[in-house]
Amino acid sequence: MQHIFKEGTDHKLPTLLLLHGTGGNERDLLPIADMIAPNASVLGVRGNVLENGMPRFFRRLAEGVFDEEDLIFRTNELNEFISDMADQYQFNRNNVVAIGYSNGANIAASLMYHYNRALKGAILLHAMVPRRGIQIPDLSETSIFIGAGTNDPIIPPAETKELADALKLAKADVTEHWGDAGHQLTREEIIKAKEWFEKNYTK
Ligand code: MLT
């Protein structure tokens, strides 16, 4: 997968896995990572699927309707890619925290729905329910920050609530932040995500 790796100065911090939204690339979330944890290593990845020329992490049949078979395939592909990159760049595979926005948040959620050790934690910004009707693995070792907008036209609040509830049921430690916002990222939610990151990984 196309990617960028930047080694951080503090190797005890988790490596941040950056997963962009539809039409983005491996560099999109670098400024967000820099705000959240400037000393952490980062692995920015570009989705392998193109929709009208726009990179995504998995195919969809319509807006909000996912191609489940492709989602499963791409989730496995990304999980293996992270392991390969951990070998290549010598970071701890068991200490990876995803920062995903929109489509990137959805594949980060999918990683956790399928594998209980894919991610140590995740910052899911404007995320949806990746799949329904499957048993989510035990996520008692996983901490998750969910940032959402109460007026998001793409992601109904009820859907983000459903995601949070499913992750809690799987025993994940879930922190929710609801802003008076739409689908765009807000400075406020990044500040909250930074506080969450520092509480969980630097103290
Ligand atoms: C998706 O397809 O993952 C969601 O609809 C979010 C997006 O627009 O990328």
As a whole number of angstroms, the distance between CA 48 and CA 3 comes to 11
Cα(170) to centroid(ligand 1), Å: 23
Instruction: Give the tens place of pLDDT for each residue, 37-74.
Output: 999 999 999 999 999 999 999 999 998 899 999 999 99
Residues in Cβ contact with 172 at an 8 Å cutoff, skipping those fewer than 6 apart: 112, 139, 140, 142, 143, 144
Count how many residues are written for the chain: 203
Instruction: Tell me if 49 CB under 6 Å of ligand 1.
Output: no
The architecture (CATH level 2) of 3-201 comes to: 3-Layer(aba) Sandwich (3.40)
Among 63, 68, 101, 184, residue to substitute to test ligand 1 (most atoms within 8 Å of Cβ): 63
Where in the chain are the domains? Answer: 3-201
pTM: 0.97
Instruction: Give the tens place of pLDDT for each residue, 82-101.
Output: 999 999 999 999 999 999 99
